Amino acid sequence: MKQEKRYKHLYPTAFMLYVTFFVHGFGAAIIGQNVTSLQQQWGTTAAGVVAVTSALGIGRLITYPFSGALSDRFGRRPITLIGSFVYVLFFAGILVSPNAQVGYFVAMLCGVANGFLDSGVIPGAMEILEDSGLASILTKLVISIAQYILPMMIAYLLANDMWYGWTFVFCIIILIVNALLLTRAKFAPQPKVETENGEKVKGFVGVSKASKFAVEGIALIVIGYTCTATFQIFLAVNKSYGMDVLGMTEGAAGQIQSMYSLGSILMVVATTFLLKWIKPVKFILICPIIAGATEFLMFVSRNTTLAVAGGFIVGATAAGGVLQLVTATMTDLFPASKAKCVSAVMIAGALSQFSATVMASKLAEMFGMEYSLLVAVGFTVLGIVLAVVVNIRYAIIEKSLAAEGKSL
């Protein structure tokens, strides 16, 4: 018990780290929530603005291969500060970008910042809280809170005929103040990486002789892609869907995003309790089934009430921590390769953020914004099929471990 309280005096540092993720919650959704204003600024269509969000995935892909190594070598503070600085460039850059082409390259900075923050904030918070599960859930929680608040801020600006850029300025101020505080904050010491017998573990080592990375390992990585597509496409297009397809006002359409974020927040909180009785591997099957069915109903029904309720359901079942539970399942099955597991799943998510939103925007340009939802449904169905495979393999591995007197 004493070990859990070693770094209680560093909780203010953990709070500052989570503040950066709070701003990241704004950054991930701020383009999609300002479609109308950016259409006018860039002289493009709603689909053109949505296409810009795909650059976030490219930025993450550029950063992930080396940001983790830099964090382990130089520490959590400098990597977090770099991420914060790049985010300032992103928010300021969007405000002055003259067209969608420039906006696309500026949006890459959001992904780059995200990659650095993932590598600095998450391990930094884990080392302070000494509870990786709690640390991961809190990152998801603060992002969801930010994405719940953002549409209300935008609705207020619209109602009072104020400049859309004030939300961007708000984020810049928070980042600068928080970064200045982090320069003087104390961090927990980083654990030394030691390998058994002085040898590094090669490849993905399974928890049992029955483990097969080529089956459940690859399936989980692909699920990391599909579950990200389920919520990322919805996050990018939900407001435009409400306005262009359902004829909602900009303020009313923002309710879809607010309900999405509320569902995500409540599910994250509920998951911390449900995991006592339900294993993560079950969530990665049940949640996509509900999310996919909801998005399909939104595609065929074109109903405003269902759209708002659907925002809540999709937020809960697609963005309520499923990606984190995919990572948890992966690390359970390949415990000797945890860092590699996390990296593989996050890279798959970054690929999805880029490619899935591009596909969705192209289909929206050809047939209409509602067809973006159909793309999300297609990816979700693939994820469900693979989740069935993973659950079957999980049961086989459990039986194998039971025969050895072990358990997952």
The CATH number given to whatever domain includes residue 354 is 1.20.1250.20
Among 150, 176, 193, the domain-final residue is 193
Among 170, 193, 216, the domain-final residue is 193
Considering the domain boundaries, does residue 1 fall inside one? no
State how far the Cα of 219 lies from the Cα of 353, in Å rounded to an integer.
18
- Does 213 share its domain with 111? no
Considering the domain boundaries, does residue 2 fall inside one? no
pTM of the model: 0.72
Q: How many domains does the chain have?
A: 2
Looking at residue 130, its pLDDT comes to: 73
Considering the domain boundaries, does residue 3 fall inside one? no
Looking at residue 26, its pLDDT comes to: 92
- Does 82 share its domain with 177? yes
- Does 214 share its domain with 294? yes
Range of the domain at 54: 8-193
- Does 120 share its domain with 209? no
- Does 43 share its domain with 148? yes
Considering the domain boundaries, does residue 18 fall inside one? yes
Q: Per-block average pLDDT, block size 10, for the chain (408 residues)? A: 65 94 90 88 87 84 82 86 96 94 94 88 80 71 86 89 93 96 89 52 62 92 95 88 92 90 89 81 95 96 94 94 84 69 81 81 83 93 98 93 78
Looking at residue 99, its pLDDT comes to: 93
Looking at residue 1, its pLDDT comes to: 41
- Does 213 share its domain with 304? yes
Considering the domain boundaries, does residue 285 fall inside one? yes
Looking at residue 199, its pLDDT comes to: 52
Considering the domain boundaries, does residue 261 fall inside one? yes
Among 193, 214, 229, the domain-final residue is 193
- Does 18 share its domain with 139? yes
Considering the domain boundaries, does residue 241 fall inside one? yes
